[in-house]
């Protein structure tokens, strides 16, 4: 068989064929896995809600504009036990992390007291910024109200003991909490 001449036309045809086959394969794999991915995301959210809120029997998912970043909506969940509101969980985030964006689920009781926080995703420095997932750091926030506990690091005049050698990550965590409380206050004031 004679070898085809290497020309721009032949290269473009070959590239188009490879790209077309790749696109078809990618679409096929996406269709095979999209339900599993959606189920995994739903399970992750349900587990985060259970981790940050008191016991509940149903939730209501809502969205609101993100404070300070109108290009992104923040989802939050009202949790009920029978018909009584037991807390609001805010799927908060901050872009101020040392390694980029940090996503967290923040559970807030109806009176505005922080219940618990679960870090969902981050790219902080292992052994430093990742310590925001350690109880020695996050437990200092539990049961605190922003009216009586300044949720900024002590270096910035707040009440938060920063993670040693990870002040930027500590500030990011506080920024995510601040965003969650702004959403909470917006939700409470509009109901």
Mean pLDDT of the chain: 88
Q: Which helix (H) or strand (E) holds 97?
A: strand 84-97
Give the dihedral of Cα atoms 70, 74, 80, 86; nearest 10 deg.
-80
**DSSP conformation letters of 54-90:** ---SEEEEEEEEETTEEEEEEEEEEEEETTEEEEEEE
Q: pLDDT for 73-89, tens place per residue?
A: 788 999 999 999 999 99
Find tokens 């689920």 and name the residue.
105
> In what order do the strands lie in the sheet containing 58-66?
58-66, 69-81, 84-97, 100-108, 114-121
Q: Report pTM.
A: 0.79
| Whether the Cβ atoms of residue 79 and residue 90 lie closer than 8 Å to each other | no
């Amino acid at each position: 068989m004679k070898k085809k001449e290497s020309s721009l036309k032949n290269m473009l045809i070959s590239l188009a064929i490879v790209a077309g086959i790749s696109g078809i394969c990618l679409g096929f794999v996406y269709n095979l896995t999209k339900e599993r991915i959606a189920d995994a995301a739903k399970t992750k959210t349900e587990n985060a809600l259970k981790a940050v809120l008191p016991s509940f029997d149903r939730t209501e998912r809502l969205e609101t504009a993100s404070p300070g970043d109108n290009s992104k909506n923040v989802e939050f969940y009202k949790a009920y036990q029978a018909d009584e509101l037991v807390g609001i969980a805010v799927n908060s985030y901050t872009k101020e992390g040392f390694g980029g964006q940090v996503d967290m689920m923040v559970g807030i009781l109806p009176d505005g007291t922080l219940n618990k926080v679960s870090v969902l995703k981050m790219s902080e420095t292992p052994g430093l910024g990742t310590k925001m997932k350690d109880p020695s750091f996050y437990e200092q926030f539990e049961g605190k109200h922003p009216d009586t506990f300044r949720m900024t690091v002590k270096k910035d005049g707040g009440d938060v003991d920063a993670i040693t050698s990870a002040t930027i990550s500590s500030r990011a965590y506080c920024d995510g909490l601040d965003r969650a409380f702004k959403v909470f206050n917006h939700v409470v004031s509009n109901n």
